[in-house]
Amino acid sequence: MIIKNVHGAPILLLVITAFLIGLSFIDTSVLAIDDSGYLSVIILQLLVLGLPAVFYVRFRGKRFMSHMRLRLFRLYDVPILIYAFCLMVLGSALIGFFIYRAAPEAYASSSPYDFTGDGVSFAAGLYSAIAAGVIPAVTEEFLFRGVIITEYERNGVPLAIFLSSFTFALMHLSLVRLPVYFFNGLILSLILYATQSVAAAMTLHAASNIFAMFSEVYIYRAAVRQGGGIVMFILICAGAFLLFSVLFCGAAQREYTEKSYENLPSEHAKKKKRGRFPYAAEAFLSPFFAALVILSAVGMFLL
């Protein structure tokens, strides 16, 4: 059975989103394998996010897998990873700052992190960082920057970047944090193409998750300030964001200049399509994509 890519990707995400919504109505404490519950969280993430993605890749075959950029990044890529990390931290802080100012209770209550690091042992903190930072990064990047972006890539790289970022934001089932997740998805997609490595996106995602676990509380504190403190916070973050944007773009340009010396064919060239709808319209008009958006909206409302 052949399933078109514009249908296959949203079908996979529909299944995963349905599982996530279903889990929200289950008392997961009964599934706790250890006292802390972290091991259960890890297993659930691997089962709900990782396993369906792996089965989907097996269904698509070896040729699909060969296009997923499942490779390690190079030491040469470390600077651009650092710049991307700074962009994610600063951009998320600015977006989160303004959302928190507009809806403080909704934004704070939607935080995916219950761990703040206060009064917690090093071992417990490390365990929490792995469960809430590293494992989600690995499973989500394999799914979105591995599977989803590869599926939509034949429709054009810009569309693949947008849809992988948009569906990444939808899957978190949080309307108030949707702009933050969408922005992070864009940066993670850009780092994938700059480094040609899913491992680079996983590393960046994990670093961002762990940093957010300990730093998000400071965004709340900055947002409740008045007068010059707010202006100074915005100016510093915005100025630093622009600086690291320039550094990131410069590093990406050097990466692509180096690749151009190898005289390889561009994987970013969108093929011309004959038919009733162009590639972009075909992707957005997929009934499964519409169902995914509706299911995600229902999940946001219920949760």
Asked whether residue 124 carries a pLDDT value surpassing 90, the answer given is: no
Asked whether residue 48 carries a pLDDT value surpassing 80, the answer given is: yes
Residues in contact with 159: Cβ distance below 8 Å, sequence separation at least 6, in sequence order: 152, 279, 280, 283
Average pLDDT (65-85) is 94
Whole-number mean pLDDT of the chain? 86
Average pLDDT (9-28) is 90
User: 70 to each of 147, 201, 202, 286, how far by Cα in Å?
Assistant: 10, 11, 11, 28
pLDDT grade, residue 269 (50/70/90)? low
pLDDT grade, residue 21 (50/70/90)? very high
pLDDT tens, 164-212? 999 999 999 999 999 999 999 999 999 999 999 999 999 999 999 999 8
What range does the domain containing 128 cover? 5-302
Overall domain count for the chain = 1
Tokens of 11: 């079908």
Ranges 16-20, 44-48, 253-257, 260-264: which has the least confidence: 260-264
Using CA atoms of 45, 48, 54, 56 in order, give the dihedral in degrees to the nearest 10.
-150
